[in-house]
């Protein structure tokens, strides 16, 4: 909403005129309309030079950022302050410092060569501590914290190592940051300090140990203050970002973040917090840990990142027994709602949805030990219960479908036995896929998994045996399933809209289906729109008939054309080969190479003249 289109057109530069004015102050500059884009763009260097020459202006900018605004101020006063630019100054100054102006940021740590006045030197030395004094407050205004974070994160991106150097000298900075970790903006600063994605180069110390210590402190805080949902969410967001960065770094052989992962690998702690708080952050963190587990190993000698295809998920085995039962636990953090059928529904909840996704990710690792433990502790039974209980929740049905297919696709006899015999999957489908439940949401899932099992039986003799031995399933497949498919599949031309691989050619049945659809469309069009044929040219019906006739004619001529094309290609290849042989023969006969005597001079002359 602060985008200025005027900067794309030629116009006088306002900043130049303002800076040449002797009595120009910060408020005058900030009160000028459209000045922010100019300061962040073409006028960044000029503005920075002016501020460095007048460091008291830098002082004012920091004061506006760290000033403690009263959140309880009345609306009328807020509007008046906004119109008078008083309320805009903190925002504008935070945007200027947050634009990563290199000169302004360097001025906080280095004294320019032209800086000779003692008064200016004293002001410069106190600017950085003045900015950090904002964290010393016992409570923070969230808006002011956002302004502070905007400026401080820009400083980390440009001079991250220098920021850590000041933190090492003054440990109170970290304590003040952790004290306010329940504020999202402050948590983002901590995240940037740990990841330390900075453009500063040629710095010997990387502060790895200090960053690890900070990571351990916030995890300890998460463990002992799990009752505070803001702390849980913010700390988990930090850890999620670190694991996400770590997964990305694997593809670029960047191992700087990987040493922090060993500190985060605490699945028991995160599952305990997830079950206690019912927040989605710990579940998402567990999902990230599963996805990145054992994708990298680190050599101790040169810290080289090596990709390892052998994945070890043993650290998650201790939490597996608790996952399936908690799918059935009621979420007391959500209240019931009334659906369109006037029924009271207990929501599944975002937390349990992430728990289901965690199970899906674990199953899709194809680790047989993990799948065996999950099935042993009632995974299949839990899925069957929630599918029926939450009949209209398509997300649940999609996750359950992926879990079942991942297990069956392994083609392991013990898993097949667990699914089909111990958990009676076929009887479960037959009992619930009936006319009474035809209007319920889970029918789509049951139809999809039924067709999948029929197709899978053609590839797996063990599954085919279970299908053929179950008489109820045979009756169901021949009647109900066949009726549903006969109604639904014609709408898709009897083709899977999302096949595993796209067929090269349409088979005969699919071609016939397309022809039938075109023929029916043409007939209905002629019946319903007879008046179209009575117009001047009668082009509507005639054109549709021509399209259908051309399509059928093309189908009839395909076979003959293919045979003719094949014969022509063979004849052409033979002719080309004969012409090539004749050309080689002529060149050989016309050349004098084969008549050469072992005379080096004549041979060289012939080679030079030969084209």
Which of these three, 146, 164, 197, is where a domain ends?
Answer: 197
Does some domain include residue 423? no
**Are 356 and 222 members of one domain?**
yes
**Are 19 and 168 members of one domain?**
yes
Is 399 a residue whose pLDDT tops 50? yes
Which of these three, 197, 224, 242, is where a domain ends?
Answer: 197
Closest CA to 119 of 63, 62, 55, 59: 55
The single-letter DSSP state of residue 305 is E
**Are 188 and 240 members of one domain?**
no
User: What's the whole-number mean pLDDT along residues 396-403?
Assistant: 95
- Contact between 370 and 313 under an 8 Å Cβ cutoff? The reply is yes
Q: What is the pLDDT of residue 542?
A: 56
Q: What is the pLDDT of residue 585?
A: 55
Does some domain include residue 224? yes
Is 5 a residue whose pLDDT tops 80? no
pLDDT tens for 160-218 read 999 999 999 999 999 999 999 999 999 999 999 999 888 888 777 789 999 999 999 99
Can you tell me the distance from the alpha carbon of 237 to that of 263, in angstroms, rounded to the nearest whole number? Answer: 16
Token pair of 172 as six digits: 């109170």
What is the average pLDDT value for the chain, to the nearest integer? Answer: 80
Does some domain include residue 452? no
pLDDT tens for 442-486 read 898 999 999 999 999 988 899 999 999 999 999 999 999 898 888
Does some domain include residue 89? yes
**Tokens 């003040």 belong to residue:** 176
pLDDT tens for 212-239 read 999 999 999 999 999 999 999 999 999 9
Does some domain include residue 56? yes
**Are 256 and 168 members of one domain?**
no
Q: What is the pLDDT of residue 29?
A: 87
**Are 376 and 321 members of one domain?**
yes
Does some domain include residue 32? yes
**Are 186 and 248 members of one domain?**
no
Out of 20-24, 63-67, 162-166, give the one with best mean pLDDT. Answer: 162-166
The residues that bridge with 306 in the sheet, in sequence order, are: 297
Is 493 a residue whose pLDDT tops 60? yes
**Are 101 and 147 members of one domain?**
yes
Q: What is the pLDDT of residue 402?
A: 95
Can you tell me the distance from the alpha carbon of 331 to that of 334, in angstroms, rounded to the nearest whole number? Answer: 6
pLDDT tens for 128-166 read 999 999 999 999 989 899 999 999 999 999 999 999 999
Is 81 a residue whose pLDDT tops 90? no
| Burial group, residue 104, by CB count within 10 angstroms (0-12, 13-18, 19+) | buried
Q: What is the pLDDT of residue 251?
A: 42
Which residues, including other chains, have CB under 8 Å from residue 16's CB and lie 6 or more apart? 43, 46
What phi and psi, each to the nearest 5 degrees, are found at residue 317? -65, -30
pLDDT tens for 541-583 read 555 555 556 655 655 555 555 566 566 666 666 666 666 666 6
**Are 147 and 250 members of one domain?**
no
Q: What is the pLDDT of residue 140?
A: 92
Does some domain include residue 256? yes
* Domain of 218, in residue numbers: 206-294+314-333+347-390
Is 405 a residue whose pLDDT tops 90? yes
Tally of structural domains, the chain:
2
- Give the N- to C-terminal CA distance of the chain in Å, as an integer: 72
**Are 134 and 171 members of one domain?**
yes
Is 51 a residue whose pLDDT tops 70? yes
Can you tell me the distance from the alpha carbon of 71 to that of 69, in angstroms, rounded to the nearest whole number? Answer: 6
pLDDT tens for 89-129 read 889 999 999 999 999 999 999 877 665 566 778 888 899 99
| Burial group, residue 145, by CB count within 10 angstroms (0-12, 13-18, 19+) | buried
pTM attached to this predicted model: 0.75
Which of these three, 197, 230, 247, is where a domain ends?
Answer: 197
Does some domain include residue 472? no
**Are 62 and 138 members of one domain?**
yes
Can you tell me the distance from the alpha carbon of 217 to that of 175, in angstroms, rounded to the nearest whole number? Answer: 10
**Are 18 and 76 members of one domain?**
yes
How many CA within 13 A on the CB side of residue 224? Answer: 5
Q: Where are the alpha helices (DSSP H) in 364-477?
A: 368-376, 379-389, 394-408, 413-417, 425-432, 443-457, 461-469, 471-476
Lowest-confidence region among 32-36, 306-310, 441-445: 306-310
**Are 212 and 188 members of one domain?**
no
């Amino acid at each position: 909403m602060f985008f200025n289109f005027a900067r794309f057109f030629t116009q006088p530069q306002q900043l130049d005129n303002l800076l040449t004015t002797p009595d120009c102050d910060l408020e005058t500059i900030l009160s000028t309309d459209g000045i922010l884009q100019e300061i962040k763009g073409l006028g960044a260097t000029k503005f920075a030079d002016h501020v460095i020459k007048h460091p008291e202006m830098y002082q004012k900018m920091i004061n506006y950022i760290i000033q403690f605004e009263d959140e309880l101020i009345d609306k009328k006063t807020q509007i008046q302050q906004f119109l008078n630019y008083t309320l805009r100054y903190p925002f504008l100054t935070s945007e200027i410092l947050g634009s990563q102006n290199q000169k302004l940021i360097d001025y906080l740590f280095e004294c320019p060569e032209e800086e000779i006045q003692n008064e200016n030197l004293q002001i410069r030395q106190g600017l950085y501590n003045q900015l950090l004094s904002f964290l010393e407050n016992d409570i923070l205004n969230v808006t002011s914290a956002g302004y502070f974070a905007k400026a401080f994160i820009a400083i980390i991106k440009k001079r991250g190592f220098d920021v850590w150097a000041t933190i090492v000298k003054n440990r109170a900075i970290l304590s003040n940051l952790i004290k306010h970790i329940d504020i999202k903006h402050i948590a983002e600063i901590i995240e940037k300090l740990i990841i330390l994605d900075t453009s500063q180069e040629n710095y010997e110390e990387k502060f790895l140990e200090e960053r690890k210590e900070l990571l351990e402190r916030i995890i300890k805080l998460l463990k002992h203050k799990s009752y505070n949902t803001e702390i849980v969410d913010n700390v988990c967001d930090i850890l999620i970002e670190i694991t996400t960065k770590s997964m990305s770094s694997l593809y670029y052989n960047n191992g700087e973040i990987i040493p922090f992962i060993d500190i985060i690998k605490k699945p028991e702690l995160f599952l305990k917090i997830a079950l206690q708080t019912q927040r989605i952050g710990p579940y998402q963190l567990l999902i990230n840990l599963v996805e990145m587990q054992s994708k990298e190993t680190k050599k101790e000698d040169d810290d080289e990142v090596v990709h390892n295809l052998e994945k070890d998920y043993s650290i998650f085995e201790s939490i597996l027994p608790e996952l399936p039962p908690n799918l059935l636990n009621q979420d007391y953090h959500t209240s019931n709602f009334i659906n369109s059928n006037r029924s009271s529904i207990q929501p599944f909840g975002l937390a349990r949805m992430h728990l289901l996704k965690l199970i899906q990710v674990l199953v899709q690792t194809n680790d047989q030990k993990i799948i065996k433990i999950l099935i042993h502790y009632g995974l299949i039974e839990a899925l069957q219960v929630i599918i029926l209980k939450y009949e209209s929740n398509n997300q649940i049905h999609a996750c359950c479908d992926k879990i079942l297919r991942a297990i069956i696709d392994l083609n392991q006899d013990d898993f097949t036995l667990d699914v089909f015999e111990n958990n009676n999957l076929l009887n479960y489908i037959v009992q619930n896929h009936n006319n009474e439940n035809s209007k319920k949401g889970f029918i789509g899932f049951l139809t999809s998994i039924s067709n999948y099992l029929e197709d899978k039986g053609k590839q797996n003799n063990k599954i085919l045996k279970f299908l053929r031995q179950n008489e109820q399933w045979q009756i169901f497949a021949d009647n109900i399933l066949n009726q549903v498919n006969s109604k639904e599949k014609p709408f898709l031309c009897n083709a899977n809209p999302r096949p595993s691989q796209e067929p090269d050619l349409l088979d005969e049945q699919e071609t016939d289906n397309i022809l039938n659809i075109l023929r029916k469309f043409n007939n209905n069009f002629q019946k319903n729109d007879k008046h179209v044929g009575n117009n001047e040219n009668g082009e509507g019906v005639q054109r549709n008939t021509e399209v259908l006739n051309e399509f059928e004619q093309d189908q009839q001529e395909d076979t003959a054309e293919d045979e003719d094309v094949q014969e022509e290609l063979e004849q052409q290849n033979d002719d080309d080969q004969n012409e090539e042989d004749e050309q080689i023969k002529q060149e050989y006969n016309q050349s004098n190479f084969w008549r050469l005597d072992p005379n080096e001079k004549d041979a060289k002359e012939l080679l030079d003249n030969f084209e």
